[in-house]
Amino acid sequence: MRIEADRKLDFDDVLIRPKRSRLKSRAEVDLNRTFKMPHAGVEISGVPVIAANMDTVGTLGMAAALAGHRMFTALDKHYTTEELQAGVRGDFSFITFGIEDLKKIDAVMAALERNRADKICLDVANGYTEAFVEFIGEVRAHHPDKVIMAGNVTTADMTEALILAGADIVKVGIGPGSACMTRAMTGVGYPQISAIIECADAAHGLSGMICADGGCKMPGDVAKAFGAGADFVMLGGMLAGHTESLSDEQLKNLDKTDNIVEYYGMSSETAMNKYSGGVAKHRASEGRVVRIPYRGDVAHTVQDILGGIRSACTYVGAPSLKQLSKRTTFVVKN
């Protein structure tokens, strides 16, 4: 047994210290970023916030709405190829897979060629397995020019391993999610601000990128994630409960449910009952069901989130999102 005793930080442990600024208004702040992908060789441009690949968040409706703001969506992996063909706008969507048959991935990506889908999200709960690292290598070999985002991990060593295996973007976060029970069920995890700082440093050293995934509860947390060095930030709970992420049935039943809707983790009993025929005997559910009030169209929430990040940039004198982490000094709350 070993103990790492230096203090690791979570979103609630820090604040961003204000700095002298030349900016006159937050309207001057540019939130667009362009990233060159180290393996795929292509560029991604947009506002680097990504809706999580959860079936209550990463819907085709959400993707259409967010693309209007140049924001991204990692689509839920349970969509059929036909549904994806009918609804995907390639430039702002990631097509999500777990560890699965390469032939399936090849077939889906070939079918979406006309949608210009060039971004793949490889998502597993635990990105630390050798099998996952090998799998990333195989997907990279089959798709040399596709953007690959893979995870989740939460430490620098494994961020490097995934990038060396073929990932362009590493998804960082084990345990911080709002519908996540991993910390409670297993005792495993890592405070997210420290994870972002350490993994971003490791990724940038290899010309890779990270996506901070989980734990943002309000716009200030998104600003903190970017301030800590995240290139992309993924949001689940903050984008749940909107018109664009609800099923037709949920929308129809709003009156009956007093405007309360369910949002659940992808390893929750609800999700496992829906997609895997129940919780397998050897595993426990590591996701929870959260009941939240219906929040209307996502455009209002988007305005809050982007307004918050813009305002954070003006407080530290960052004329663009790219400058935010360079201008960020965190103060640790006691």
Closer to ligand 5GP by Cβ: residue 169 or 179: 179
* Residue number, 246 or 318, with CB nearest to ligand 5GP: 246
Q: Name the catalytic one among 56, 159, 180, 328.
A: 180
Q: Binding to ligand 5GP by residue 234, rule CB under 6 A?
A: yes
| Active-site pick, 182, 270, 301, 328 | 182
Q: Given candidates 59, 93, 96, 152, which one binds ligand 5GP under the rule CB under 6 A?
A: 152
Alpha-carbon gap, residue 30 to 219, rounded angstroms: 17
Q: Residues in contact with ligand 5GP, total (CB under 6 A)? A: 25
Closer to ligand 5GP by Cβ: residue 35 or 232: 232
Asked if 84 and 104 touch (Cβ cutoff 8 Å), the reply is no
DSSP 17: P
Tell me the closest approach of the beta carbon of residue 271 to ligand 5GP, in angstroms: 7
Site for ligand 5GP in 5-64 (CB under 6 A): 52, 54
Cβ(152)–Cβ(171) below 8 Å? yes
CA angle 321, 194, 36 (to 5 degrees): 40
Q: Which is nearer to ligand 5GP, 175 or 229 (CB)?
A: 175
Cβ(45)–Cβ(118) below 8 Å? no
Known catalytic residue: 180?
A: yes
Question: Which of 48, 215, 219, 227 touches ligand 5GP (CB under 6 A)?
Answer: 215
Selected binder of ligand 5GP within 267, 301, 314, 325 (CB under 6 A): 267
- Alpha-carbon gap, residue 106 to 85, rounded angstroms: 14
Q: Tokens standing for 300?
A: 């209002």
Least Å distance between CB 270 and ligand 5GP?
A: 9
> Is residue 222 near ligand 5GP by the rule CB under 6 A?
no
Minimum distance, C-beta of residue 240 to ligand 5GP, in the bound complex (Å): 7
CA distance 231 to 170: 10
Residue 125: name the closest of 84, 157, 77, 63 by CA.
77
DSSP label at residue 189? -
In the complex, minimum distance from the CB of residue 248 to ligand 5GP, in angstroms, rounded to a whole number: 22
Q: What letter does residue 275 receive in the DSSP assignment?
A: H
With a CB cutoff of 8 Å and minimum separation 6, the contacts of 295 are 241, 242, 301
Of 234 and 318, nearer to ligand 5GP (C-beta) is 234
- Minimum distance of ligand 5GP from residue 235's CB (angstroms): 5
| Cβ 123 vs Cβ 154: under 8 Å | no
Q: Does 96 bind ligand 5GP (CB under 6 A)?
A: no
Residue 209 pairs with which residues in a beta bridge?
A: 169
- The residues pairing with 78 across neighbouring beta strands, listed in sequence order, are none
Count of other CB atoms within 10 angstroms of residue 3: 4
Nearest CA to 127 among 140, 136, 114, 118?
A: 136
Q: Which C-beta is closer to ligand 5GP: that of 63 or that of 316?
A: 63
Q: Does 216 bind ligand 5GP (CB under 6 A)?
A: yes
Tell me which stretch binds ligand 5GP (CB under 6 A): 26-34, 94-102, 135-143, 228-236.
228-236
Binding ligand 5GP (rule: CB under 6 A), the pick from 109, 112, 199, 266 is 266
Question: Using CB atoms within 10 A of its CB, is residue 94 exposed (0-12), middle (13-18) or buried (19+)?
Answer: buried
> Which residues contribute to the site for ligand 5GP (CB under 6 A)?
52, 54, 125, 152, 173, 177-180, 182, 213-216, 234-238, 265-268, 286-287
Could you give the residue numbers annotated as active site? Answer: 180, 182
